[in-house]
Every structure is written in C-alpha cells, then in structure tokens.
Amino acid sequence: MSTGTSRRPDRAARTARAEREHVLLVHAHPDDESIVTGGTIARLVRDGVPVTVLTCTRGERGEVIPAELRHLEGDLRALADHRETELAEAMAALGVDDHRFLGDADARWQGLAPRRYVDSGMQWGADGVPVALQPLDPDSLCAGDEADEARDVLAVIADVDATSVITYDDHGGYGHPDHVRTHGIATWAAEEAGIPAYLVTTTVTSAREAHEAVAARGRFPAPDPDPAGALVLPDDAVDVVVDASEVLDRKIRAVAAHRTQTVVDGDQFALSHGVGAPVSAVEMFRIHRPAGRAQDDGAPRPRAAPSASARRSPRSRSACWWARSARPRTARRCPWAASRCPSGWCSPW
C-alpha cells in the first residue's frame, strides 16, 4: 500500500507548523501509544509539532511476559510502578516531553479532586464480547464517571490548546473495555472542543500483509489474515496514512521499552498471547464523524462551560494538517482543496 512520497519539511515550515498545531493522543494503557501510534508520534516530534500523550491507566492488570518479572503480575501497585518506568523509556525513545495520566492534577477537570484510574481488566462475556473484569474494581476506568473522565480529557485539550486528538475507533481496536471507554471520552472531548479526532484503523489489506510478513519470518505464530467483523475496515475507509519508515527505529525502541508486555525481534513483536505482528512503518486513521445527538440523550456534559481555549471555532473535517506525511489516500477524501489548505502544504493528488 503506497503512503506517498515522504518529504521532510524545512526548518521554516516546521517552525510555522509548531506554532499552530498541538496533537493530543489518548490511550488506555502503557504500550498502546507505541504499538499503534508510535510512528505517528515520532514523525510529529521530528517535524517539530508539539505532542502530548495522555494515558488513562497504568496497565495494572496486564499479564507479564518475562519470567524474572512475573512476580509483578497481580500486584497492582508494583506492576503499575514498573510500567510507569517502561512508559517513560518509551516516551524518551519517541521524543515526547509531555506525558500525563488521566485524573492526575495536570489532567483533571477544574474543581475535581485528582484521582487515579485503574486498569479495568478484561474477560469474555457470555455473548463472546469482551467486558471489564468482574467484579468491577470501583477505582477502574470503566467504573468511573464517564462524564468526569471526558471532562478530564477536555481539560488537557484546553491546557495544551490541542488542535487534534488521536485515539481508538469505537470498538477500541480489539474490544478491550478500557479502549472502548477511552474512545468515548476522547471523541466526546474533541467534539466539545470543536477539534477533529482521528481513529486508529486496520484495513483488510494491512491485516493480510501483517500475516504474510510474520509467516515469512517464522519467528512468531502469524496473526489471522482475515480478522472478523469490525476489527478491520475496507481499504477505502482510510482517511489518513502516515509513513513512519524514516523513524521506524524510534518506534521499535519504544515498543521494546515495554518489556513486561512485548517480545521484540527486529521489526516484529509479540504480546503475551505469543502471536506476532509487524512493528509497522505505516499507521492509518479515519476521521471521527460524530452523529447528531440531542442534548438530553445521556451523553456526558460539562458542569460548566469550557474555557475559551477549549471552545475554539471548529476545525473538524481538515484531514491533513498535523503531519506532512499524514495525508488522505485519495483526493476525493481530502476536505480541503490544495489552494485553501489551512496548513499551506497540501498538494493536489
């Protein structure tokens, strides 16, 4: 799949972009940011665009792969502390200098006391759909007040004056309840702030290419070449493709930093289930397109109007200003003609 020609912007262009852009990435657990968006983060940082990574939990209920660290599994506080150090190493590898945890003082809605959101865990429900671990931990992300969590994200958007948000799709990628909750609160906050949200996307072709690459190497069991249902989308559902080949080494180092969660071999890795996947140099997104909703439909609403910086004029539907390589797959999908692109660097495709 072609991602277009990579063009590194000159210093003046990078400075101009840095002055008007700030990308907020919202993830559920440590390691998610590196695995699914590490290339995009590294590209943005390299191109001079300010980046903030917001992690909702510390992954306290994750499985632990290395035998020498397995004593951490089940000890929520000890594993959380260890995964914080892994996350800090990953952030350094990607060049991120602004990382926050949801609910901390720097990621909390004004007037709400800081709180620590805990990994909800996951189990399979009777209908085969992933659900949070039962009984539900009252401190977990899924047990929290969804409206307050959404306001926490909105507070970060306002604090850094974010111009766009990146998070999961509405299925949370693979259905983990914390991922689904993260999608909901991040996209609501983006809507409320009037900025676009971009959703991590896997396509039919990329799933098959991942299977072929892992099978050819033979180091790990290959993933399913044809994942079912909502796990993949048609190729033409993609709005933005990021070519991270020039910074792939940074993404690999970031994924490898999460030693409790990953086994890395070159440009491939496996999680605790042992199934392999490429550390992909291509990351794809689609634009979140909110459906209309009534004011009384139960969706979270702030207790007070957001600050002026959070209520900026809507910028949604501009698919391509936050990375020079992050551009729509086809011209028909770009909401802006080249002559009026807000970034000034679009080209006709």
The CA-based angle 282-287-291, given to 5 degrees, is: 155
Residues 102 and 202: their CA atoms lie apart, in Å, by 26
Residues 263 and 169: their CA atoms lie apart, in Å, by 25
Domain assignment of residue 43, yes or no: yes
pLDDT value at position 37?
99
Domain assignment of residue 180, yes or no: yes
| Number of domains within the chain | 1
- The tens-digit pLDDT sequence of the chain (349 residues) is 223 333 444 555 555 555 689 999 999 999 999 999 999 999 999 999 999 999 999 999 999 999 999 999 999 999 999 999 999 999 999 999 999 999 999 999 999 999 999 999 998 887 777 889 999 999 999 999 999 999 999 999 999 999 999 999 999 988 999 999 999 999 999 999 999 999 999 999 999 999 999 999 999 999 999 886 668 999 999 999 999 999 999 999 999 999 999 999 999 999 999 999 999 999 999 999 987 543 444 444 433 334 333 433 333 333 343 433 344 333 323 333 333 333 332 222 1
Residue 164 CB contacts under 8 Å (≥ 6 apart), including other chains: 21, 23, 24, 190, 195, 196, 197, 198, 315, 321, 322
pLDDT value at position 229?
66
Domain assignment of residue 215, yes or no: yes
Residues 336 and 349: their CA atoms lie apart, in Å, by 12
pLDDT value at position 297?
42
Residue 261 CB contacts under 8 Å (≥ 6 apart), including other chains: 30, 31, 59, 62, 63, 64, 65, 83, 86, 271, 272
* β-sheet with 268-270: strand ranges across: 263-265, 268-270, 276-278
CB contact burial 70-80 (16+ within 10 A = b; e otherwise): eebbeebeebb
Residue 94 structural domain: 11-340
Domain assignment of residue 4, yes or no: no
pLDDT value at position 313?
36
The whole model's pTM is what?
A: 0.82
CATH of the domain at 100: 3.40.50.10320
Domain assignment of residue 255, yes or no: yes
Domain assignment of residue 319, yes or no: yes
How many angstroms separate the Cα of 234 from the Cα of each of 71, 201, 284?
42, 10, 12
pLDDT value at position 130?
85
Contact of 319 with 334, CB cutoff 8 Å = yes
pLDDT value at position 131?
87
